[in-house]
Chains A and B, each alone.
Chain A
Amino acid sequence: MTYRILNFANFSHGDIMSLGAFLALVSLTLLRGLGIPDTPFGPLSFGLPMILAFFIALLLTGLAAIIIDRILYLRLRRTGPIILLIAAVGMSFCLRNIIQFIWGPQPQYYFKAIQIARKIPLLGIRIKPDEVFIIAVVALLVIGLHFFLQKTKMGKAMRAASDNMELARVSGIDTEKVIMWTWAIGAALAAAGGTLSGIENKFITPDMGWQMLLPIFAAVILGGIGSPYGAMAGGMIIGLSGEISTAFISTAYKPAVAFIIMVIMLLIKPRGLFGAR
């Protein structure tokens, strides 16, 4: 969706994700410093500050993306997709190195408690309570995004702009506003991904988002470029196949699995599962 509205592939998406994860860390530290009790909720390994930090990170990352757009991309909007793409690669380096400059290259932790997976009766699978929380949050975000795109005026305008930017403009739609919303929502969702993966993996690193870029592209291509629902489905498939593959081959090959799926998809159906054009 950002690809169709912004008219270029956003290479800095992964690093915006890292930015979100680190902004959550800052918020978390500040909130703990303010003396908000950090007693874990029930079986979860974190408390109120983590949840507040999550929302603050979403908000701040969305704002950061709008600021980056105003400073950098706005001036380049008329140039063309290649120049924007290179600018995004540059932005990606900037973000990653700024993060590394501030927090250093070693992993950082939201919290250090280690959780033990519990067996769910009936289903016969083991899952950590934190993971249940993550799945619930992702489900809420997906439902929220769907609602936003289908029911709100701005969501519809975003779909319209991704269909036909020129027509949106001559219909009187403020396309600059649409672009800002697109950045904010894309970045906030990336921040959500970064923070949640920090909760799941227990640590965050400055290059975590960069590492995710390949699977992100694989998921987007699999789902069909420019289709938000395709991207959701693609993300599921890439993620699951990567994890399932670890049962048979070394975990080091997880990214390769994503890569192979992407190549196969490009060969047999380059438009992706839900691609429109």
Chain B
Amino acid sequence: MILEARNIKAGYGGVEILHGISMGVDKAEIISIIGPNGAGKSTLMKTILGLLKPTHGKITFDGHDITDLSPDKIVRRGICYVPQTDNVFPSLTVEENLEMGAFIRKDDFRGRMKEVYGIFPDLKEAKRFRVGKLSGGQRQMVAMARALMLDPQVLLLDEPSASLSPRLVKLIFEKIVEINQSGVGILMVEQNAREALKLCHRGYVLAMGHKKFEDTGQALLNNEKVGKLYLGG
């Protein structure tokens, strides 16, 4: 496991939301976390990135303990994050958003920018536009492209398909697979549970801050209990 969380307990202002969750991401694996609202999916993601300090448990990345590091230090080590909302800089252009993603790079990142534009050719066409003027689907692509600029080993995606039209959801999922095939491990939280389980290698089902199931995506899709309780029958 390149990224591993062990027995994580965390919450906001003394209210515990995660009651001891263990999970991991292997190199170049796609992991989906599904579960009902309030299950603690986004909280888990924020805890991994250091935006929230766990009260208990340990997070390791590449063999090093990152539990107590600040978000910018964790980002430097190779875990990048795309929040669910407000995930772009609207008054900056597409290209400036990507430059901000590469802010901590001291080297010449034009090569990386070319690769990222290779994954999202639409963005190259729109690189001089202010992101605030783009559509929801394009914004989501900008957000993902920005997070890829550091060439992360693991990419955290918080509901990448939220509030997108079905056609765009399909496109975003295709992009996620494409990013993964370039060697990036993906950990995503999704409401589109069925689709997310179809494309992932492994999945976790969370409910009420506990891990209920963990298995390969296909096995979870075939699991009757999971289907009944979390996939709507």
Contact = CB atoms under 8 A, between A and B. Distances in A.
B226 interface: no
Contacts of A160: 89, 92, 96-97, 100
B150 interface: yes
Contacts of B89: 159-160, 163-164, 167-168
A172 B106 CA distance: 13
B178 to A, nearest CB: 22
A172 B96 contact: no
Interface in B14-52: 49, 51
B69 to A, nearest CB: 12
Interface stretch (B79-87, B169-177, B216-224): B79-87
A265 B91 CA distance: 23
Nearest to B99: A156
B83 A170 contact: yes
A201 interface: no
Interface string A150-163: 00010011011011
Contact of A156 (B51, B92, B150): B92
A173 B99 contact: no
A171 B97 CA distance: 10
Interface in B95-154: 96-97, 99-101, 103-104, 132, 146-147, 150
B76 interface: yes
Given A156-B96, A163-B92, A166-B86, A173 B103 contact: yes
Contact of A164 (B71, B86, B101): B86
B75 A153 contact: no
B83 A169 contact: no
B96 A167 contact: no
A153 B101 CA distance: 12
Given A156-B99, A156-B100, A167 B91 contact: no
B72 interface: yes
Q: Is the interface of A mostly helix, strand, loop or mixed?
A: helix
Contacts of B76: 172
A163 B147 CA distance: 17
Nearest to B104: A172
Nearest to A176: B72
A171 to B, nearest CB: 5
B103 A157 contact: yes
A173 B97 CA distance: 12
Contacts of B132: 276
Nearest to A276: B91
Contact of A173 (B49, B88, B92, B100): B100
Please give me the 10 A-B residue pairs with the lowest Cβ-Cβ distance, nearest first.
Answer: A172-B75, A163-B89, A172-B104, A160-B89, A160-B100, A173-B103, A172-B72, A170-B81, A170-B71, A163-B91
Given A160-B96, A172-B103, A173-B104, 18 more contacts: A156-B96, A156-B100, A159-B89, A159-B91, A159-B92, A164-B89, A164-B90, A166-B86, A167-B86, A168-B100, A169-B71, A170-B49, A170-B71, A170-B75, A172-B72, A172-B76, A173-B103, A174-B104
6 contacts: A166-B83, A169-B72, A170-B51, A171-B146, A173-B104, A276-B132
